[in-house]
Amino acid sequence: MTSKRPTLAQRSLPMRPFSESVPMALLRTREAVMRLFRPGLRSRGVTEQQWRILRALAHQGPLEVTELAEATFLLAPSLSRILPDLEKRRLISRRPVKADLRRSVVSLEAQGLRLIGEHAPYSEQMYARIAQRFGTEKLEQLLQLLHELETSLEALAGELDRRPAGAGQRKGSP
């Protein structure tokens, strides 16, 4: 980045350089990854979030809404808006749980399955390119560090919160 004359703020606020790095680096890297996948999704008329839903259902079978929120890392209010559209397009279906009418089960429908089948080769091609370019070993190392950081931050958050860990809107995976 362009080096500029130190501002008053810079002189009086010695915030650590890395302080801005971690969230920004994660955001930038994620955008760089998604940039490769987004065109394929767009050409099939699904957003990244919709894809995550279809993908989770394909991978794990029918899920309840709270399970789907966790699997896709989407917030419940977001799911409540996304699911009706996917249902309308007959990519998924929903049915209430007889034992508890508050809950409902979301399933992948044939058209959703077909869409996944169509996108899978594109997706795999991108992953193969990423692995080739960056290195499978380094990817695994990165994933390991990300997982460890997430785990340690959740422990930290649990200590700082007054509420029990996981009581917030978006729950981490147990």
Q: Is residue 5 at the binding interface for its own copies, with CB under 8 A as the rule?
A: yes
Q: What angle do CA 70, 74, 78 make, to 5 degrees?
A: 130
DSSP 139-164: HHHHHHHHHHHHHHHHHHHHHH-SSP
Q: Which stretch binds its own copies (CB under 8 A): 82-90, 95-103, 120-128?
A: 120-128
- Minimum CB separation from DNA for residue 159, in Å? 18
Residues in 128-157 that interact with DNA by CB under 7 A? none
Question: Which long-range contacts (C-beta less than 8 Å, at least 24 apart) are formed by 105-110?
Answer: 105/62, 105/63, 105/64, 106/53, 106/57, 106/62, 106/63, 106/64, 106/65, 106/68, 107/57, 107/61, 107/62, 108/54, 108/57, 108/58, 108/62
Residues in 13-52 that interact with DNA by CB under 7 A? 31, 34, 38, 42, 47, 49-50
Q: Is residue 56 at the binding interface for DNA, with CB under 7 A as the rule?
A: no
66 contact, one of DNA, its own copies, none, CB 5-8 Å limit per kind? DNA
123 contact, one of its own copies, DNA, none, CB 5-8 Å limit per kind? its own copies
Give the footprint of DNA on this chain (CB under 7 A). Answer: 31, 34, 38, 42, 47, 49-50, 64-66, 74-83, 85, 99-104, 168-170
